[in-house]
Chain A
Amino acid sequence: MSEWGELGMATRTITFREAICEALREEMLRDERVLILGENICDGPHGYGGAFQVTKGLVGDFSDRLLDTPICEQTIVGASAGAAMTGLRPVVELMYEDFITLAMEPLVNVAAKKHYMTGGQYRVPMVVRAACGATGSGPAHSQTWTSWFMHVPGLRVAFPSTPYDAKGLLKTAIRDDNPVVFLEQKKLYDVKGEVPAQEYLVPLGRARVLCPGEDVTVVAIGYMAHLASQVAAGLRERGLSIEVLDPRTLAPLDLDAMVQSVRKTHKAIVVAEDCRTAGPTAEIAAAIGEGAFEYLDAPIVRVGAKDSIIAHNPGMAEYVIPGAAEIEEAVQRVIDWG
């Protein structure tokens, strides 16, 4: 029985993709101010349903609230900020997170700043959903950037790893009055998981223990949380007890949960698909170091993509991205420390 079943909630098994679509549908039905903008997102006879088919099936009474836009990421995001300031609650779909470079300007200098700069006169309730991660699509359709957004005061950043969290976090993000960057790792779209039949929300800023353990804390983001769980299952057979913690949101970051875990295990590694240098793992490792230094029995090890570019050649591309072997190796390093 699943944990939701144990709680007496009826559940269904759906994909990550379907979970996001359900969140969009429910929030559009709940609040007519919710509007979705993006490239090729409309479904129906002349529609595409989104590059990754996330908005497929969003047809019916509210389908006029899906707007197919021209290719103009900067204006889609900037216009969403303007619309959010004046009565709507837009959700943007960026086909690839890589395109967010074009939209960084309105995201960072308009959406994130407006509430602060105007002394609270204007709010910017908007969500930018962006598909990230390497799936063999070339250098600028494969990247994962998380720390850029963590670095911008005024933005919230969500990065779910399960269908349950994807749905619950997206619903919360849409209802939040702040701009939220919502990262969806493409490798997760087909991942299945239990999702309650009834409505629920997942709060921003609360990490989740994916599997409890005693010997090493592995903080892992997105798809890396799945890899870490697999590694933990394998190591359990060798008598090692690994606690896998999924931050779920990077801003706010649930530092308390990480520090609590490290106080128990005394060892930590941090895993993300972003490039290792100045990635989210760097911030998390430093924060754990500050918050739990006296409890640590080994240096915190970061696992991330090698500081390179994702090549067309599949072998090269795969070599850059961290895998289960790198996670296991890092766990072994902190165990062997002493």
Chain B
Amino acid sequence: MQLDEKLMLQMYRDMVLARTFDKRVEQLHARGLVPGSVFSGIGEEATFVGACRAVSHEDYMVSSHRGYAQDLTKGLDSKLLLAELLGKATGCCGGRAGQYARADASSNNLGVHQVLGDGFSVAVGAALAQKRLNTGRMVLAFFGDGTSNHGTFHESMNLSALWLLPVVWVCDNNLYAMSTRFDKASAVENVADRACAYNMPGVVVDGNDVMAVYQTVSEARQRAVAGKGPSLIECKTYRHRGHSGFDKRRYRPQEEIDAWLKRDPIVRFESVLGERGILDDKLVGEIAGAARECVDEAEEFALSSPAPPPEACLELIYCPSGVN
């Protein structure tokens, strides 16, 4: 597959930024500066970055809770994201949403849904609106292997295929729904195997290969915007950390973790780019430095930002009730 060098380097930068950001969030959480929990996306950057780069800025995204690569790659400013996670007034949602419900209209990110499965129907609706309004835009919808067992999965897969909606369903199958292994939760081996029940393409892809994810989602996007309907793409990947910041991670065998660490998506992509002569140690250092600088700035911004006044909780419950 031929991808241009610029795009490949961009995706590498995105992955490095996402991991740097994720690690910083872990540190801030450990210091007690992030209210609630955090859901690390470390190890899954190729899936999130590859899919987000395969769609346009105008396309909508329904994001999932895991990690921050989706938000950042779709175009959310790292300062506004980190401030949001810290519950600050300057956050993209004014500190109301945090990990649990963050969204960003400026990058057409419809947000995270804290009750798993809600994102399916929101994506169906957004895709329906794009189709009816003839906008040429599509919806990229992320969900995990755990959420794939939710009843809404069936309703939404069926409706999206029935109405040939412009949506691409991307499942990051990291093998575990919190501690529950996918093979303990699903009667079929692959989420993508279910696609045939909805008369839509189902594809299993190496979720730690950013170029493979990019290519697969790009093709699915073309299909979606051409009016040919949705696709179900399952990216096999692994989360290096626990489910949340509080997870003791006792349920996974060490050999399994070690095997997946050897398939680290960033390390793999570095060697691909190195072999192609696109990336050398100097550039690796530069990109890492730029990511660190970006996250440093975000941290400084977030830490120095004010918290919203508590009484702001009474604002924005309703839109101004002007008649439209």
Contact = CB atoms under 8 A, between A and B. Distances in A.
B324 A125 contact: yes
B152 A201 contact: no
B133 A87 contact: yes
Interface string A104-123: 01100110011111111111
A88 interface: yes
Nearest to B121: A78
Contact of A83 (B97, B114, B129, B318): B129
Nearest to B312: A119
Nearest to B113: A110
B316 interface: yes
A279 interface: no
A105 B118 contact: yes
Interface stretch (A143-151, A171-179, A208-216): A171-179
A285 interface: no
A105 B116 CA distance: 10
Contacts of A110: 113, 118, 121-122
Contacts of B196: none
A89 B128 CA distance: 12
Contacts of B319: 115, 120, 123, 177-178
A211 B152 CA distance: 47
A198 B146 CA distance: 54
A15 interface: no
Given A106-B121, A116-B317, A177 B322 contact: yes
A81 B125 contact: yes
Interface of B: 60, 62, 91-94, 96-97, 101, 103-105, 110-111, 113-115, 117-118, 120-130, 132-133, 135, 151-152, 155-156, 158-159, 162, 316-324
Contacts of A191: none
Given A75-B152, A79-B121, A121-B104, A88 B93 contact: no
12 contacts: A70-B155, A82-B125, A116-B316, A117-B96, A117-B97, A117-B101, A119-B97, A123-B319, A154-B318, A175-B323, A176-B324, A177-B322
Contact of B123 (A82, A84, A88, A172): A82
A94 interface: no
A241 interface: no
A69 B159 contact: yes
A161 to B, nearest CB: 22
Interface in A112-165: 113-123, 125, 153-154, 156
Contacts of A154: 317-318
B316 A176 contact: no
A279 B105 CA distance: 38
Interface-centre pick from A31, A75, A81, A178 (highest chain B CB count, 10 A): A75
A85 interface: yes
Contacts of B323: 172, 175-176, 201
A79 B128 contact: yes
A293 to B, nearest CB: 25
Interface in A195-234: 201, 204
A86 B159 contact: no
A35 interface: yes
A88 B97 contact: no
A74 B110 contact: no
B164 to A, nearest CB: 13
Interface residues on A, range: 35 or more
Given A106-B121, A172-B323, A88 B316 contact: no
A80 interface: yes
A297 B60 CA distance: 59
Contact of A178 (B101, B103, B123, B321): B321
B138 to A, nearest CB: 11
A77 B103 contact: no
A167 B105 CA distance: 34
A125 B158 CA distance: 25
A153 B96 CA distance: 15
A72 B158 contact: yes
A287 B110 CA distance: 37
A158 to B, nearest CB: 13
Given A109-B115, A116-B317, A122-B103, A70 B121 contact: no
A119 B94 contact: yes
B320 A177 contact: yes
B102 to A, nearest CB: 8
Contacts of B104: 121
B92 A119 contact: yes
Contacts of B152: 74-75, 78
A170 B162 CA distance: 30
A74 B159 contact: no
A27 B275 CA distance: 61
Contacts of B156: 75, 78-79
B114 A82 contact: no
B210 to A, nearest CB: 28
Nearest to A126: B125
Contact of B316 (A80, A89, A90, A119): A119
